[in-house]
């Protein structure tokens, strides 16, 4: 029937224009182009549904890209200054300050980052900073940047072993004095007069804590023993809305099972929402020779829990955190 219709169409064509129109309709019917509009409507609907999901999973990778750009900068900086290396004891100071400025700018622009209690960080001498670990500890990166900019010193950090296995990260970890955490090495850093940052919850807290902000420390007290052996104060730290910036799917049993069974941190992280970040530093807990590691660990945990109770609305809300950011910006403009 279709062929007969096409033949009649061609036979009825009286001029070139009519013939071209007829041929176009034949081609459209043969290729099924009449359904293109339906296909486009379906595609538009799928894009509308999946674009927000894609964005919240892509943004965390942008943080990883920024880290790799930092590493690339360090490699370039190293090549550029090879001839001066023999004459300069602090080859990486310029690189650290430049990257600190970049990360501080990122925090200010994207999260309106603020830090309260910076005066509690000593200008000289050691201290152990203990903090709550977000799904991606970008707030801790901002804190490190502020220590470099405001205090003119580098805070050493303890990181999980898997970071040292990521291709390309070695230089970044070395330049920013990141160690994998043997107690002896931590004590050595503190006794040498450095600041040291550690999160007792580590990867477990990063992946399996949630918007209610539970501290997942278990019975860990090694950090407390480090502080006692080094005879240094402990400074608790917490960042408001850090779980609203990035969240993890670690609450799903499968990812928890994989981590506990194989120690593989594969739980997906999503977010990158421009929520308000405020880091709060608590009062230093001084060294007390009469306090053992278990007692000190309990004191520090209570101090961080107190910061959470005081500065974080539970459960956390991404929408509320976004509104806080807007409200803060509005107040700044009015001032």
d(CA 224, CA 18): 89
- Residue 115 forms beta bridges with which residues? 279
Residue 286: other Cβ atoms inside 10 A: 10
Residue 275: other Cβ atoms inside 10 A: 26
Burial of 24 (0-12, 13-18, 19+ CB in 10 A): exposed
Q: 203: which 2 tokens?
A: 């990867």
3-class DSSP state of 93: helix
The alpha-helical segments, DSSP class H, found in 176-214 are 183-191, 202-208
- Give CA 283 to chain center in angstroms: 26
Q: Which one of the listed residues 111, 133, 156, 194 is annotated catalytic?
A: 133
d(CA 266, CA 44): 32
- 194 has catalytic annotation: no
Among 97, 134, 147, residue whose Cα is nearest residue 277: 134
3-class DSSP state of 36: helix
Residues acting as catalytic residues? 133
């Amino acid at each position: 029937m279709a062929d007969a219709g096409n033949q009649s169409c061609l036979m009825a064509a009286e001029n070139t224009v009519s013939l071209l129109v007829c041929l176009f309709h034949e081609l459209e019917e043969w290729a099924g182009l009449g359904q293109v509009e339906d296909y486009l409507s379906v595609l538009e609907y799928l894009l509308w549904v999946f674009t927000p999901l894609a964005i919240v999973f892509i943004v965390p990778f942008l943080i990883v890209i920024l880290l790799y750009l930092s590493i690339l900068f360090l490699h370039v900086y190293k090549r550029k200054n090879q001839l001066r290396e023999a004459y300069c004891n602090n080859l990486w100071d310029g690189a650290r300050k430049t990257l600190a400025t970049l990360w501080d700018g990122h925090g200010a622009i994207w999260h309106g980052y603020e830090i309260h209690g910076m005066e509690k960080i000593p200008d000289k001498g050691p201290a152990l900073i203990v903090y709550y670990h977000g799904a991606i500890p970008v707030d801790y990166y901002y804190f490190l940047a502020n220590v470099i900019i405001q205090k003119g010193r580098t805070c050493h950090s303890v990181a999980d072993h898997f970071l040292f296995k990521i291709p390309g990260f070695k230089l970044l970890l070395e330049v920013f004095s990141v160690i994998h955490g043997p107690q002896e090495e931590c004590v050595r850093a503190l006794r040498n007069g450095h600041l040291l940052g550690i999160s007792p919850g580590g990867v477990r807290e990063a992946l399996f804590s949630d918007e209610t902000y539970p501290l997942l420390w278990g019975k860990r007290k090694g950090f407390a023993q480090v502080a006692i052996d080094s005879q240094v104060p402990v400074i608790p730290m917490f960042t408001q809305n850090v779980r609203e910036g990035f969240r993890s799917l670690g609450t799903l049993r499968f990812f928890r099972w994989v981590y506990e069974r194989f120690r593989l941190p594969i739980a997906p992280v999503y977010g990158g929402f421009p929520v308000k970040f405020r880091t709060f530093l608590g009062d230093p807990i001084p060294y007390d020779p009469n306090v053992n590691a278990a007692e000190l660990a309990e004191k520090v945990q209570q101090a961080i829990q107190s910061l959470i109770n005081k500065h974080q609305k539970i459960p956390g809300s991404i929408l509320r955190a976004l509104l806080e950011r807007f409200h803060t910006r509005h107040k700044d403009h009015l001032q």
